[in-house]
């Protein structure tokens, strides 16, 4: 199952570490603070969210994880206007 | 159909206007740069995305709109840690 994960994290350093965790877990960055990630089971999502909680620690944060079925993903629309995501920029 | 709309907009003023457009169109803010919005048809999504394009104008932006079916929405997970969204804060 593919999940769409979006996060608001107040602290810059913690936010960068959440992004690194999602990337290291196999996620694909689709927006500055949003990743898609393929997970085999709801249990894997629990493990990932627990890791995210550990990174967040006592920082202010809000994370939403929404499963996206293939039919919905096929109908997703992306508008890009002069804005390519560059990993080296995003992870600074 | 419910859509999940996430946007990266480089310019602060343009980003605020995109948020205002989504709010005025009936959207619910779920993250700093993410809304859910109920739309009756794909045509309505086209109209909304066209309006977003008009607001963006020549600014740098990237917008993703993903339809979310009810089954997926029921399985969505939100982690909130000391971080309540406050409209007056978000729209500044």
Question: What would the pLDDT profile of A28-66 be if each residue is shown by its tens digit?
Answer: 998 888 999 999 988 999 999 999 999 998 888 889 999
CB-nearest partner of B56 from A33, A76, A81 = A81
Q: How many residues does chain A have?
A: 92
- Token pair, residue A68, equals 């996206």
| Contact at CB, A62 and B76, closer than 8 angstroms | no
Determine the Cα–Cα distance for residues A64 and B92; give it in Å rounded to an integer.
22
Are the Cβ atoms of B71 and A69 closer than 8 angstroms?
yes
Mean pLDDT of B64-82: 83
Among B6, B58, B65, B69, which would you mutate to test the A interface (most chain A Cβ atoms within 10 Å of its Cβ)?
Answer: B6
Cross-chain CB nearest to A6 (options B31, B45, B62): B31
What DSSP element (H or E) covers B73? helix B70-74
Residue B70 has pLDDT above 90, yes or no: no
This prediction has a pTM of 0.80
CB contact under 8 A, B77 and A62: no
Q: Do A72 and B68 touch (CB under 8 A)?
A: yes
Poorest-confidence range of A17-21, B14-18, B49-53, B69-73? B69-73
Distance from CA of A89 to the nearest CA of B (A): 13
Residues 6+ apart with CB under 8 A from B54: none
- Of the candidates B45, B67, B76, which has its C-beta nearest A65's C-beta? B76
HSE-up of residue A6 (Cα within 13 Å, Cβ side): 22
The helix/strand/coil state of B55 is helix
Among A18-22, A33-37, B10-14, B82-86, which stretch is predicted with the lowest mean pLDDT? Answer: B82-86
State the complex-level ipTM.
0.74
A33-42, A68-77, B83-92: which has the highest mean pLDDT? A33-42
């Amino acid at each position: 199952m593919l999940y769409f994960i979006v996060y608001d994290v107040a602290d810059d350093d913690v936010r960068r570490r959440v992004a690194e965790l999602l990337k290291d877990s196999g996620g694909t960055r689709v927006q500055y603070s949003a990743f898609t990630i393929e997970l085999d089971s709801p249990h894997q999502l629990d493990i990932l969210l627990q890791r995210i909680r550990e990174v967040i620690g006592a920082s202010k944060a809000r994370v939403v994880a929404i499963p996206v079925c293939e039919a919905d993903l096929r109908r997703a629309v992306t508008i890009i206007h002069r804005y390519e995501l560059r990993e080296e920029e995003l992870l600074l």
